[in-house]
A = this chain, B = another copy of it.
Amino acid sequence: MALDENALIRAVTAAHPAPAGVLGIGDDCCVWTPRGPTCLSVDAIAEGRHFTADADPRLVGRKAAAAALSDLAAMGAVPVGAAVAISCPARWDAGAVMAGLGAELMRHGCPLLGGDTTGADSLVVSVTVWGEGDPAAGGRLLRRSGAGPGDLLVVSGPLGGSLRSGRHLTPEPRLAEGRWLARHGFVHALMDLSDGLAADAPKLATASACGCLLLPEQVPVHPDVPDFSDTITAALCDGEDYELLAAVEASQWPTLQLAWPFAHPLAVVGWLLPEPGAWMEDRHQRRVPLAMRGYEHR
């Protein structure tokens, strides 16, 4: 049975009325009036790479939406809209994928304003999201490039074990945390962790023309990582954590730690260095080259 594109679009349109003043699904484009600088990201997940052929289709949709929203969180942005392209074989329930996707978007106040559906040999869900800076942060959007040497690297929650435990299907985009961080001028740079801290921290450092030193013993390990395993490697390398990584002015750390209003404590995981390169502290507090790599989707 082929995907009934028109029926799917009708169902999605009914479930997602556009906000006042916004033209949603049904025309050649959606139309909205931005209030200022706007950020946008596209994120695709594919069968056999980001989920298995036997995954719950609602969770696949949820993951596609959450992974995309995490990119808005990583800018400290407020979601404005989303558009989805779903390429779906007949063996997948496209309606269930869309239901999971739509529910996740709605949970975060992000209207679904556009979409395209096609048939395909394997399921691919591509989600475009866009947003604006929070007026409470003066519209500020946080990039990876704003940090400098001597900044502390902090993460918004424990890391590791996401793929093994199945937690990777229900990532929690840290939108509120990102908005809060954007309101504080001593937070200099921000990104989200999708490929593991060992891969992602060097990206933030490079974007800020710095090197980085990771402190493996201080990285908070997620309870999903099994006891008596190599918990530190898991926390640094597993990928798909979708926590935030921020670079903050070191002298402001005590202030930040006290003011942080969220359930999971912020944790210091490293420093930015004036010279390039990726480094870590070994058990004797010596600086050695970073031996670990992140997770690569193949």
Give A contacts to B, CB under 8 Å. 2, 5, 23, 26-34, 36-50, 71-72, 74-75, 77, 81, 83-87, 113-122, 124, 126, 128, 130-131, 141, 143-145, 190-192, 207, 296-298
- Given A2-B298, A42-B114, A85-B43, check contact A74 B29 (CB 8 Å): yes
Measured CA separation A46–B3 after assembly (Å):
13
Q: Contacting A144 at CB < 8 Å: which of B28, B48, B71, B77?
A: B28
Q: Are A121 and B48 in contact (CB under 8 A)?
A: yes
**Residues of the B chain whose Cβ atoms lie less than 8 Å from the Cβ of A46:** 87, 118-121, 124
Report how many copies the assembly holds.
Answer: 2
Measured CA separation A296–B45 after assembly (Å):
25
Q: Are A118 and B28 in contact (CB under 8 A)?
A: no
Measured CA separation A230–B208 after assembly (Å):
63
Chain B residue with Cβ nearest A121: B122
Q: Are B40 and A130 in contact (CB under 8 A)?
A: yes
Measured CA separation A269–B292 after assembly (Å):
65
Q: Contacting A29 at CB < 8 Å: which of B31, B40, B48, B115?
A: B40
Measured CA separation A126–B114 after assembly (Å):
13
Given contact pairs A2-B298, A30-B40, A47-B121, a sample of 19 additional A-B residue pairs in the complex whose CB atoms are under 8 Å apart: A28-B74, A29-B74, A31-B37, A31-B75, A38-B38, A40-B114, A42-B83, A42-B84, A42-B116, A42-B126, A43-B85, A44-B86, A45-B118, A46-B121, A46-B124, A50-B118, A83-B128, A85-B126, A119-B298
Q: Are B47 and A39 in contact (CB under 8 A)?
A: no
**Residues of the B chain whose Cβ atoms lie less than 8 Å from the Cβ of A42:** 83-85, 114-116, 126, 128
Measured CA separation A221–B60 after assembly (Å):
44
A-B contact pairs, 21 of them (CB 8 A): A2-B296, A2-B298, A5-B296, A26-B207, A28-B41, A28-B191, A29-B71, A30-B39, A31-B75, A40-B83, A40-B128, A44-B87, A44-B116, A44-B117, A45-B118, A83-B128, A85-B85, A87-B124, A87-B126, A119-B298, A120-B124
Measured CA separation A47–B118 after assembly (Å):
10
Q: Are A34 and B38 in contact (CB under 8 A)?
A: yes
